[in-house]
Amino acid sequence: MSSSDLAEPGALDQVLILAPYRRDAAYLGQLLAEYDMGVATCISADELTAYLAAGPGVFVTTHEALTPTLIDIVARHLNAQPPWSDMPIVVLLDRASPNSRIRGQLAAAWPRSRQLFYQRPLTQVELVSGIQSALLARMRQREVRDHIEREIELRRELNHRVKNILASVFSIFEMTRRGATSVDGLADDFGARLTALSNVHSAVFEAKGEAISIAEIAQLTFDPYRQMGISRIDASGPSVMLTREAGTTLALCLHELTTNAIKYGALSVPNGQVAFHWDILPDLGPDLSVLWQETGGPPVVAPSRSGYGTRYLRAALGGLFGVKPDIMFATDGLRCEIKGPLARVACNPEAPDSVSGL
């Protein structure tokens, strides 16, 4: 016997027949095949063990085939079943056999298993409908199994994401602490950065989990400040959907740029302006270009050493686009510009399956 004789493990749709005497197995196999059921037959203990391991849909046996060894093999298989599995067993008795004794014996050997008994001779209709019904029950078990597997997969994915977010929060904290000069300053900056992370998380979740537009990110970043009366941020660009990761990174970058502008830049004075523009450059790949330009603020002095904001922008935008951003402390206003392949950051709506199994 080669392994190719075995049914695809996990399909649970094959009828396994153990009927070694006369032409029982051939007859049963032919009958079930006429009703489009997949059939495997076994004779030896080794074959039975191998076929059971492959996960049959239903096990059909004649009572006279059941030697103590084979009963034991089946019992071990039943005991080793996962919690969702309950392999149905169809036992063909005959009129002359001591049927109540056999039933008692099998009930003891195979406790809590689903056993159907038929007494031969029986009509084809009776047997076929009994086996079909057992296969249907088995299909429901398969659905339960798939459901459990999906849940395990989801839990794994959730664990991975929670770990990731905790690692992010930890890094934000560590890096904020380094730049902090007072406990209040640390608390304010850390709180604001966590809020930015939390807002983009909520926005991505509400947008069905895997994509978010640049316009939405701009809105969720700037709206709290607009409500505080800071309305001198002009955000515009075409519709671009970003992946969850790219959207999160862009939101955190915009948070840094905005808070920096409010503390030191164009938004620290009444007449300063910020333009946040993005565009798709179709000739180049296409590329996505993103520009933050401050004007009308106090004269810009390049910092003697890079702070959290600048260093984060360099690492984050550099990682996102695969090229370093252009951050210029021009005297008339900070300018941050980056251009890179759209495909690196965009969420392709044509292929949602490629994103994740979630």
Partner 1 sequence: MTSDTIGVRKPLRIYCIEDNPLIVFHIEHLIEDAGHVLAGFADSFSQLKADPAATHIDGALVDIDLADGRTGPDAAAWLKERGIPSIFVTGQQDVANLYADRVIAVIIKPIVAEDFAGKIQRLERRI
Minimal distance, residue 172 CB to partner 1, in Å: 6
Quick one: 41 or 249, whose CB is closer to partner 1? Answer: 249
Distance (Å, whole) CA 334 – CA 312: 16
Q: How far is the CB of 304 from partner 1 (least distance, A)?
A: 16
Distance CA 127, CA 122 (A): 7
Q: Which long-range contacts (CB under 8 A, 24 or more apart) does 169-172 make?
A: 169/194, 169/197, 172/197
Q: Please, which residue, 300 or 316, has the CB nearer to partner 1?
A: 316
- The SS3 assignment for 151 reads helix
Please tell me whether residue 11 adopts helix, strand or coil conformation: coil
CB 279 within 8 A of CB 249: no
Contact between 290 and 337 (Cβ < 8 Å):
yes
CB of 245 to partner 1, least distance (A): 7
Quick one: how far is CA 176 from the chain centroid? Answer: 32
Q: CB of 340: closest distance to partner 1 in angstroms?
A: 12
Nearer to partner 1, 129 or 164 (CB): 164
Residue 284's contacts (CB-CB under 8 Å, 6 or more residues apart) are 339
User: Closer CB to partner 1, residue 174 or residue 350?
Assistant: 174
- Work out the end-to-end distance of the chain between its first and last CA atoms, rounded to an integer number of angstroms: 40
Nearer to partner 1, 104 or 322 (CB): 322
CB of 331 to partner 1, least distance (A): 27
User: Whole-number minimum distance, CB 290 to partner 1, in Å?
Assistant: 15
For the CB of residue 169, give the shortest distance to partner 1 in the complex, in Å.
8
Decide whether 105 or 168 has the Cβ nearer to partner 1: 168
The residue (of 113 and 249) whose beta carbon lies closer to partner 1 is: 249
- In this complex, which beta carbon is closest to partner 1, that of residue 49 or of residue 306? 306
Distances (CA, A) of 277 to 144, 233, 331: 50, 10, 20
Task: For residues 15 and 72, give the distance between their C-alpha atoms in angstroms, rounded to a whole number.
Answer: 20
Using a 10 angstrom Cβ sphere, with 0-12 exposed, 13-18 middle and 19 or more buried, the burial of residue 204 is buried
- Return the H-helix or E-strand segment holding 351: none
Which stretches of the chain bind partner 1, using CB under 8 A?
A: 160, 163-164, 166-168, 170-172, 174-175, 178, 245, 249, 252, 311-312, 315-316, 318-320, 322
Q: Closest distance between partner 1 and the C-beta of residue 14, in Å?
A: 33
Structural tokens at position 215:
């316009």
Whether residue 321 contacts residue 341, with contact meaning beta carbons closer than 8 Å, is answered with yes
